[in-house]
Amino acid sequence: MKYQTIDVDGIKIFYREAGDPAKPTLLLLHGFPSASHMFRDLMPALADHFHLIAPDYPGFGQSQSPDRDHFAYTFDHLAQVMDHFLDQLKIDQFLMYVFDYGAPIGFRLASWHPEKIVGIISQNGNVYEEGLGPKWAQRAEYWQHPTPELRRQYQSAFARETVIGQYTYGTPAGSVSPDGYSLDLYYAATIDDYAEKQSDLIFDYQSNVRLYPQFQAYLRQYQPKLLAIWGKEDPSFIWAGAEAFKKDLPDARIIPVASGHFALENCCPQIATEIINFFG
């Protein structure tokens, strides 16, 4: 494993790299409120089969966190930085593993450059309205009628209890190490202006839902090879979001695992095996 930084658009982007560059590249796109450390167990498990690249987005993990006056914290902007990151590394074809926030970032990349996408692993990476859990109805009301009070209320998304619950809900008791969520909480406490930057992204999530039809059109037109492997107890992106891929990709492989949102935390060996069997 290598741990490196690269300058992209004047921002220092941290990334993890493993495996042989001669093998197919697998881009690992993390979710919220995490960073590339969520792939700390998956990357060694796949290193004999793929060339693995896992970046931290600006404002996340070990990447630079530019201030809001000079950097727009939107999903379009994060995707643009990731697009330029791949250009910097001269990666012109890749598989991608998308999870949570990684899905709207990754599917933007796929829509912009369909010729670059070799295949997709979606682990609780939603692009269908059917996959939106009950909490999203309240968020839609917030997007339609934003107020400072609601903006502050939604900062509960990265409160300690919420983050731990995201990791442990729907998992067998004692099956999730505290390492992942403890590091997420550390970043939340130490990244400058974290609450406001993440609040910008929570508000901008509406842009992703508006793009769902475009992402689905990409799938229908290009028919990428896709494995949807889903923590079936995820309350944020529910199981129906995995099943919905079949509407546009009849040959997609859809697999439930006994987990919640952060399925890698207790199902990493199973997920790694399914990836190797499907793409290796």
Among candidate residues 30, 37, 51, 261, the one labeled active-site is 261
pLDDT in tens, 180-190: 999 999 999 99
The candidate with the shortest Cα–Cα distance to 170, out of 128, 206, 124, is 124
Written as six digits, the tokens of 64 are: 């630079």
First-to-last CA distance in the chain? Answer: 20
The candidate with the shortest Cα–Cα distance to 170, out of 108, 222, 111, 239, is 239
Which has the minimum average pLDDT: 3-12, 45-54, 150-159?
A: 150-159
Percentage of the chain lying above the pLDDT 70 cut? 100
- 3-state DSSP call for residue 96? strand
CB 227 within 8 A of CB 122: yes
Residues 263, 259: Cα–Cα separation, whole Å: 5
The DSSP element (H or E) to which 184 belongs, if any, is helix 179-190
Query: Which pLDDT score, from 0 to 100, does residue 235 have?
Result: 95
The DSSP output letter for 216 is H
What is the mean predicted confidence (pLDDT) over 242-259?
98
Query: Which pLDDT score, from 0 to 100, does residue 70 have?
Result: 94
The residue whose two tokens read 């037109």 is: 221
pLDDT value at 280 more than 80:
no
What is the mean predicted confidence (pLDDT) over 81-108?
98
Range of the domain at 54: 2-279
pLDDT in tens, 177-213: 999 999 999 999 999 999 999 999 999 999 999 999 9
CATH code for the domain in which residue 252 is found: 3.40.50.1820
CB 130 within 8 A of CB 240: yes
- What's the whole-number average pLDDT of the chain? 97
Query: Which pLDDT score, from 0 to 100, does residue 135 have?
Result: 87
As for how many domains the chain has, the answer is: 1
**Bridging pattern class, strands 11-18 and 51-55:** antiparallel
Query: Which pLDDT score, from 0 to 100, does residue 128 have?
Result: 98
Residues 143, 80: Cα–Cα separation, whole Å: 23
Written as six digits, the tokens of 221 are: 């037109």
pLDDT in tens, 216-230: 999 999 999 999 999
Is residue 261 among the annotated active site residues? Answer: yes
